[in-house]
Amino acid sequence: MIDLLGYGAFFLTIALSYAIICLGLNVQWGQAGLFNVGVAGFVAIGAYVSGLLTTPALAGRVGGFSLPIPIGWAAAMVAGAVLSYALGWLTIRLRSDYLAITTFGFAVTAQLAALNLERLTGGPFGMSFIPRPFSAFAADPLRFGLFNLGLVALVLLAMFLAVERLSSSPFGRVLRAIREDETAAVSLGKDAKHFRLKAFALGGALMALGGAVQAHFIGFIAPDNYLPLLTFQVWTMLIVGGSGNNLGAVVGAVVVWALWAVSASAIGALVPADQQARGASLQIVLIGVALCVILLLRPRGLIGERRTISRFADGRGDTRWRRLRRPDR
């Protein structure tokens, strides 16, 4: 029973840290319509920045300032915001999928840097001794787990309320207006570029915070944690939960992480040991197919965005292709 409770706390803590990342993605995609394929890169930046600032000094490694954890988390957010602002600035005036390609390249490069800047990041061996919150209780795993769960839940709640408030504020309304029809919003005097950049930076900050929270909960990070698979998981979470809805982002994170954990342990139990790697790839196939099927059949996800535009307005899309629709559909 105690074991189960402990595992539940561990599972939920990880799921909620994903929810923070997913919330950031929702600000970028769900609210502003900006496509980030480099989620893993921003999460990695957050984890490594916070790790560098809070770990104790180590011979042969740059960094290690033993600063308090909250400072590490704040710095992670700043780094995430600055980097996403810079990438956004580079591409925001161009076609929408240039941003996707650039963020993808950023994530590849960030992972490469984590792997190769050995004196800064520990290279392939990763960075250990990242201070864990409530480490005083580490002797009592249950209490330690519950306190950490509470902390992550609190951070998530604070971020959730802030983002909710933001989406119902004039800022959020302008963002949605730009997403739905940029020309119309610009003609009303809204500086679309400026608003989008802010949303992108905010989302990047949240992703970095999620990364930092995860890093401090586990206490160890390595470049392998930040592969494109992570980006893919977070995207699936948002699409499953329903993009545009902050609650959907949180629910999607917990549901998809639960499915992921259950299918992983099912494969662990059912598939013979020498075929485990194959089983793991089958897991990715299933999630990939599920993502495409949801996009095809239920693009609004489990919860979906509350409709705030006229019900006569059609969705969005490249009008040149839309007019090609056969009239019978």
- 33 counts as binding other proteins under rule CB under 8 A: yes
- 150 counts as binding other proteins under rule CB under 8 A: no
- 26 counts as binding other proteins under rule CB under 8 A: no
Q: Which of 12, 14, 37, 44 binds other proteins (CB under 8 A)?
A: 37
Site for other proteins (CB under 8 A): how many residues?
58
For the bound state, the minimum distance from the C-beta of residue 33 to other proteins, rounded and expressed in Å, comes to: 7
Tell which residue, 19, 21, 29, 11, has the closest CA to residue 209: 21
Q: Which of 5, 57, 94, 138 binds other proteins (CB under 8 A)?
A: 94
Rounded to 10°, the helix 2-25/228-241 angle is 90
For the bound state, the minimum distance from the C-beta of residue 118 to other proteins, rounded and expressed in Å, comes to: 10
Q: How far is CA 166 from CA 170, 242, 246, 257, in A?
A: 8, 18, 11, 26
d(CA 11, CA 26): 22
Tell which residue, 220, 42, 257, has the closest CA to residue 126: 220
What are residue 127's DSSP bridge partners? 221
- What are the backbone dihedrals phi and psi of residue 228, each rounded to the nearest 5 degrees, phi first? -55, -20
Q: Which of 57, 58, 112, 157 binds other proteins (CB under 8 A)?
A: 112
**Contact range with other proteins by CB under 8 A, out of 6-14, 193-201, 244-252, 286-294:** 286-294
Q: Which residues from 219-258 bind other proteins, rule CB under 8 A? A: 228-229, 232, 235-236, 239
- What are the backbone dihedrals phi and psi of residue 55, each rounded to the nearest 5 degrees, phi first? -70, 155
Residues 6+ apart with CB under 8 A from 284: 229, 232
Q: What are the tokens at 112?
A: 């490469």
- 315 counts as binding other proteins under rule CB under 8 A: yes
Q: Which residues bind other proteins (CB under 8 A)?
A: 29, 33, 35, 37, 90-91, 93-94, 96-98, 100-102, 104-106, 108-109, 112-113, 115-116, 228-229, 232, 235-236, 239, 277-278, 281-285, 287-289, 291-292, 295-296, 299, 314-326, 329
